[in-house]
Amino acid sequence: MNFTTKDLGKPLFLSKGIFLVVYAAASVLLPFLVLYYEKIGLTGTKKGCDTGQCGACTVLLEGKPVPSCLILAVDAKGKEITTIEGVAVDGRLHPLQEAFIQKGAVQCGYCTPGMILAAKALLDTSPNPTEQEIKEAIAGNLCRCTGYVKIVEAISSTAGESHGQ
Ligand code: FES
Ligand code: FES
């Protein structure tokens, strides 16, 4: 997709929560996380450690999970970013979101957006992962509440069901 100067300073939305960064000069050194909150107004992405260690701020950059607290907006120029707001389609929750609810994998919920995006990245490339692959995919996402068992169960139950959503 091509950009023009009139696009500068605003995200180019592909759909809610999925956008390309077309930033103003003043924003190029902002971490994604700040950009979402202060410039774009998407608040689903959570700030935890702010040092790349907890995974709460995970978003998908070109389909790959990244800690948005460490990635500068300048590094995202023209790249597709998916936040948790971009996961549900037409008001329907993503199968992973449904599974997290059904399996009781959400307690305080603070880790959930990052967990779901990390899991989505896995299922998009490996629709039927092993339990070990699931654990490795969410290894960078810390949860202080659930003990991970329910989270792994939720992701496992969704295997093969995402249908590209
Ligand atoms: S807030 Fe970004 S990894 Fe913890
Ligand atoms: S549900 Fe509370 S941190 Fe994971």
Let me know the angle formed at the C-alpha of 137 by 73 and 141, rounded to the nearest 5 degrees. Answer: 65
* Among candidate residues 70, 62, 55, the one with its CA nearest the CA of residue 19: 62
Is the distance from the beta carbon of residue 49 to the nearest atom of ligand 1 less than 6 Å?
Answer: yes
Domain with CATH 1.10.150.120 in the chain: 95-158
Cα 137 to ligand 1 centroid, rounded to whole Å: 16
pLDDT digit string (tens) for 12-46? 666 666 666 554 444 555 566 766 666 677 788 89
Q: How many CB atoms lie within 10 A of CB 147?
A: 10
Identify residue 88 by its one-letter amino acid code. A
Answer yes or no: pTM beyond 0.85. no
pLDDT digit string (tens) for 156-165? 999 877 544 5
Tokens linked to 29: 């050194």
Least confidently predicted of 33-42, 89-98, 110-119, 129-138: 33-42
Domain with CATH 3.10.20.30 in the chain: 5-86
Instruction: Classify domain 5-86 at the CATH superfamily level.
Output: Beta-grasp domain (3.10.20.30)
Look at the block and give the residue holding tokens 């960078």: 140
Tokens linked to 124: 């998009």
CATH architecture of the domain formed by 95-158: Orthogonal Bundle (1.10)
Ligand nearest to the CA of 46: 1
Is the distance from the beta carbon of residue 113 to the nearest atom of ligand 1 less than 6 Å?
Answer: no
